[in-house]
Amino acid sequence: MFPLYDTIPSSSKPWITIGLIGANVLVFLYQVLLPEAAMEQFLHRFAFFPAAFFEAPLLSWERWQPVLTSMFLHGGFAHILGNMWYLWLFGDNVEDALGHGRFLLFYLLCGIAAAIAHAVTNPGSMIPTVGASGAISGVMGAYLLFFPHSRIITIVPLFITLLSLEVPAFLFLGFWVVLQLYNGMLLSAENMGGVAWWAHVGGFFAGMLLGPLFRRRRTWRAYV
């Protein structure tokens, strides 16, 4: 299933969502223009390594800097396009619900929670981890709480045709997180298939937990 758009209009311009997408794209363009040797050094400095995370002092910049910087790195065009599409699709409404400043802090905290979840489930890994998907998973978790009855217009491949369906957000996002849990439990740390499944799970549930705490207090319209 591939989501195209949702049925919830945003009442404000999602400046932080736009800024995050712009920052991710600019960093990615910088990445792909680096020579191979420079790229390896760049990833070694700014990607997230679970084993190194636990080796560094608890309150040191050395420990937490990669957690933050890795959220703005990506492993390829498909990786960044998928992540940025999901951020655009779900981010505007969650930013509307939280407010701009709160949304930025919420996003970063979800990304931190996702990295910690990945590190705890892969404590000895020295495989570099990159991507915004943990933070975006948090946005999706908050969206599920705030707009469960929104409709997600989704493309589903059916044999040789593409079928367009309106899927309730609680079904789309519920299926998504169950799939992350299934893959996380099914695949061992040695055979993760290149995807940090537990980072997605950790970010998603962090978003569900933090979303209500960051939500602005105001009267909300009901959408069905």
Residues with Cβ within 8 Å of residue 197, at least 6 apart in sequence = 180, 181, 183, 184, 187
Q: What is the mean pLDDT of residues 24-29?
A: 96
As a whole number, the mean pLDDT across the chain is: 91
Query: Domains of the chain, with CATH numbers?
Result: 9-145+177-214 (1.20.1540.10)
Please give the Cα distance from 25 to 77 (Å, whole number).
10
**Strand locations in 139-193 (E):** 151-158, 161-168
pLDDT of residue 142: 98
Whether the predicted pLDDT of 173 surpasses 50: yes
pLDDT of residue 216: 85
pLDDT cut 70: percent of the chain above it: 94
pLDDT of residue 188: 53
Q: What is the mean pLDDT of residues 98-105?
A: 97
